[in-house]
Amino acid sequence: MPTAIYPGSFDPLTNGHLDVIERAAKLFDRVIVAVAKSESKQPLFTLEERLKMVERAVRGLRNVEADAFEGLLVEYAARRRAQVVVRGLRAVSDFEFEFQLALMNRKLNHQVETIFMMPKDAYTFLSSRIVKEIARLGGNVSAFVPRHVEAALRRKFASQPA
């Protein structure tokens, strides 16, 4: 079975991302969770912070590793000898962008295949953006992210003006 890459900003990692990672880990020999630098998105957490959060979350999964990358995903995939890119689909609203991205990646490298995975229905409303917004306003995000991510959010917003 091929190696799969699950790329994203993971700013921060949520239980929805983890659900996709666990599903992919059952299908592929090796899953690389690839944290994108995503500079243009002005992430809340640094690349190093995001990578550390992912590393800690996947520690218990034997065939999953975390890595960081910048630049073109298809080039990174070729370097890592990965044939599959995994993306999560939550709702119709994700479809248009994901469809465009997958077809563009295929144009850039036709050997890389994109597959979509749907999370457990309870996570279909979950996004890093919403989690950040709730945490920024002092709300409880414990149902949406792993414990260490919750703590990191608390630390981040305690050191930032509201």
- Positions that interact with ligand ADP (CB under 6 A): 8-10, 14, 16-17, 20, 38, 87-88, 90, 94, 119, 123, 126-128
- Minimum CB separation of residue 22 from ligand ADP in Å reads 11
Residue 148 appears among annotated catalytic residues: no
Q: Which SS3 state, helix, strand or coil, does residue 86 take?
A: strand
128 catalytically annotated: yes
Shortest approach of ligand ADP to residue 152 CB, angstroms?
Answer: 15
**Torsion 5-121-124-127 (CA) sign:** negative
Surface-to-core class of residue 76, CB atoms within 10 Å of its CB (0-12 exposed, 13-18 middle, 19+ buried): buried
Angle, CA 7 vertex, CA 2 and CA 142 arms, to 5°? 115
Cβ 38 to ligand ADP shortest distance, Å: 6
90 noted as active-site residue = yes
Nearest residue (CB) to ligand ADP, 30 versus 43: 43
| Cis status, amide bond into 2, omega within 30 of 0 | no
Residues labelled catalytic: 17, 41, 90, 128
